[in-house]
A and B are shown apart, each in its own frame.
Chain A
Amino acid sequence: MYSASDLRKGLKVQIDGEPYIIIEFEFSKPGKGQALYRTKMRNMITGNQFTQTYRSNDKFEKPDLEERTMQFLYSQDNEYHFMDTSSYEQIFLTREQLGDNVNFLVDNMEVQVLFFDNRPIDISLPIFVNLEVTRADPWVKGDTSGTDTKPVTVETGYRLQVPPFVNQGDRIQIDTRTGEYITRVKE
């Protein structure tokens, strides 16, 4: 069981027998008031979304998911194909099912594919992935926006904010839970 204080973006819970993933999450607590856990949930089978505010004493069941290690092969149109590394069985998931995970998928990457009732419904990525910066704009010094970062694009097409010293061709480590830059890596 999870309690409301365990809720966070990306957590999977079971509601009325179906698996849901939290796609947006915000902790709120008005002064002297109660803690509120505001979520947007996506049904991992139907894709339907709803928003709901929970309180500290709410409890959630863990969904009954089976994990299998699979390798990402390729994407075609809207389909992302994976292969079981021991049985060589192939399956695919749609872009909608993968959501933000597509930002971090590169060919041959090993991921955990999640099955509910023998149907693939999602993947779980390594927490950290290393990706190559394919486009980096020069940093504008004296930028008055109050930030000390600049945007870059990585090999998957994903854009994120990084420190000014990151250049095109560098490999950087990204936290797949937050989508944020962690460090520059040497390989």
Chain B
Amino acid sequence: MLPPRRLQQRSRLLQAVRSFFLSRQYLEVDTPVLLSELIPESQIVPYRCEERFLQTSPELCMKLLLARGCPRLFQICHCFRKGEAGRYHRSEFTMLEWYHAGWGYGELMAEVEELVQALAREGDFPALDDGGGLRRQGRQVDLQSPWERLTVDEAFRRYAGIPARAALADDRFDELLVTRVEPHLGWQRPVFLCDYPVELGSLARRKAEDPQLAERFELYIAGIELANGFSELTDPAEQEERFAGEIRAIRAAGRPAAMPHRFLDTLAAMPETAGIALGFDRLLMLLSGADRIAEVLALDPESW
């Protein structure tokens, strides 16, 4: 059972996040959780719910709203992913997702940095100290700017001794990322791991200077992956091609998948946008000094 203190921290963080976005003229939205169309992602397994699905993220719905002329949106919602339960995972979890039209991923990295710093200034979370530091496992992470930006390839060469491309070709990318790279990330200051091989960012725009890379980043604090952002891919033809690859992979794993045609039809009307999804429960874990995600949930979906 969650002690009242933890529930209060959760409530406070929800409010602080809302104030941050409202003060920056973002519109809060709440889109449907039950969907008839899903974004096909090869490594995410949705829950079927009669003839529909529970959302695995609010991305599809929020992009529909962007295409209809809402330029700055945020949402705090529950997402559902089958088979994900562990120290940092729950099959039902809370996502903070936001989009800013006219931006690229660089501006979004700056904004998530400001968000976490603003939340830390609220001050009243147990893992924070007065000097803008975050305590974790006996170490201290300095939250002050500038946060480090490290490319995926640099990180793989430095910590796994192999270029990222080669790891991907050997089908060892995820394993090396988890066992060799991630444990080192974000212990002095938070770090943005950026510029993923394009195969690993099916919704992200290609980098103009290097089309084999996608403008995707992940934020790490104290070894924990906290947020994933993109410069969004807005070209419907290329998006359909990338989805086709994901769909092939899903079917190869023996699961059904369908092209989300309604989503693709509206994508042409979506402006250039940057978007990011942040694990709200993990952020609360970091701020409250919790070891396991289950410690910060009002009720644990895996055990009741």
Let me know if A27 and B84 touch, CB within 8 A: yes
Interface of A is mostly: loop
Stretch at the interface among B97-105, B171-179, B265-273: B171-179
A57 — which chain B residues lie within 8 A by C-beta?
253
CA distance A33 to B43 in the complex (A): 6
CA distance A28 to B87 in the complex (A): 8
Interface residues on B, range: 20 to 34
Using a CB-CB cutoff of 8 Å, which residues 105-127 of chain B contact chain A? 126-127
Let me know if A53 and B175 touch, CB within 8 A: yes
Let me know if A30 and B86 touch, CB within 8 A: no
Let me know if B89 and A53 touch, CB within 8 A: no
* B5 located at the interface, meaning its Cβ lies under 8 Å from any Cβ of chain A in the complex: yes
Known pairs A29-B84, A31-B225 / 8 extra A-B pairs, C-beta < 8 Å = A27-B86, A27-B89, A30-B177, A33-B177, A35-B84, A38-B179, A53-B178, A53-B179
* A145 located at the interface, meaning its Cβ lies under 8 Å from any Cβ of chain B in the complex: yes
Size of the chain A interface, CB-CB below 8 angstroms: 20
Contact flags (1/0) for B59-102 with A, using CB distance below 8 Å?
00000000000000000000000011111010000000000000
Q: A38-B179, A145-B126, A146-B288 are in contact. Are A32 and B87 (CB under 8 A)?
A: no
* A26 located at the interface, meaning its Cβ lies under 8 Å from any Cβ of chain B in the complex: yes
* 17 A-B pairs (CB sep. < 8 Å): A28-B86, A29-B86, A29-B89, A30-B174, A30-B225, A31-B225, A32-B41, A32-B44, A33-B177, A33-B200, A35-B43, A35-B83, A56-B83, A145-B289, A146-B126, A146-B127, A146-B288
* B40 located at the interface, meaning its Cβ lies under 8 Å from any Cβ of chain A in the complex: no
Q: Of all chain A residues, which has the CB nearest B181?
A: A30
* A36 located at the interface, meaning its Cβ lies under 8 Å from any Cβ of chain B in the complex: yes
**Closest CB of chain A to B72's CB: distance in Å?**
23
Using a CB-CB cutoff of 8 Å, which residues 104-153 of chain A contact chain B? 144-146, 148
A38 — which chain B residues lie within 8 A by C-beta?
178-179
B41 — which chain A residues lie within 8 A by C-beta?
32
Contact flags (1/0) for A31-48 with B, using CB distance below 8 Å?
111111010000000000
Contact flags (1/0) for B200-212 with A, using CB distance below 8 Å?
1110000000000
A14 — which chain B residues lie within 8 A by C-beta?
none
Contact flags (1/0) for B37-68 with A, using CB distance below 8 Å?
00001011000000000000000000000000
Tell me which of A27, A36, A145, A146 contacts B174 (CB under 8 A): A36
Q: A35-B83, A36-B174, A38-B179 are in contact. Are A29 and B126 (CB under 8 A)?
A: no
A28 — which chain B residues lie within 8 A by C-beta?
86, 178
CA distance A37 to B87 in the complex (A): 12
CA distance A28 to B127 in the complex (A): 24
CA distance A184 to B164 in the complex (A): 52
Using a CB-CB cutoff of 8 Å, which residues 168-204 of chain B contact chain A? 173-175, 177-179, 182, 200-202
* B218 located at the interface, meaning its Cβ lies under 8 Å from any Cβ of chain A in the complex: yes
* B228 located at the interface, meaning its Cβ lies under 8 Å from any Cβ of chain A in the complex: yes
B3 — which chain A residues lie within 8 A by C-beta?
148
CA distance A26 to B292 in the complex (A): 12
A173 — which chain B residues lie within 8 A by C-beta?
none
Let me know if B288 and A29 touch, CB within 8 A: no
Q: Of all chain A residues, which has the CB nearest B85?
A: A27
**Closest CB of chain A to B243's CB: distance in Å?**
14
Tell me which of B85, B126, B228 contacts A31 (CB under 8 A): B228
* A5 located at the interface, meaning its Cβ lies under 8 Å from any Cβ of chain B in the complex: yes
- Listed from nearest, the 7 A-B pairs whose CB atoms lie closest are A27-B86, A146-B126, A33-B174, A148-B3, A146-B289, A31-B228, A28-B178
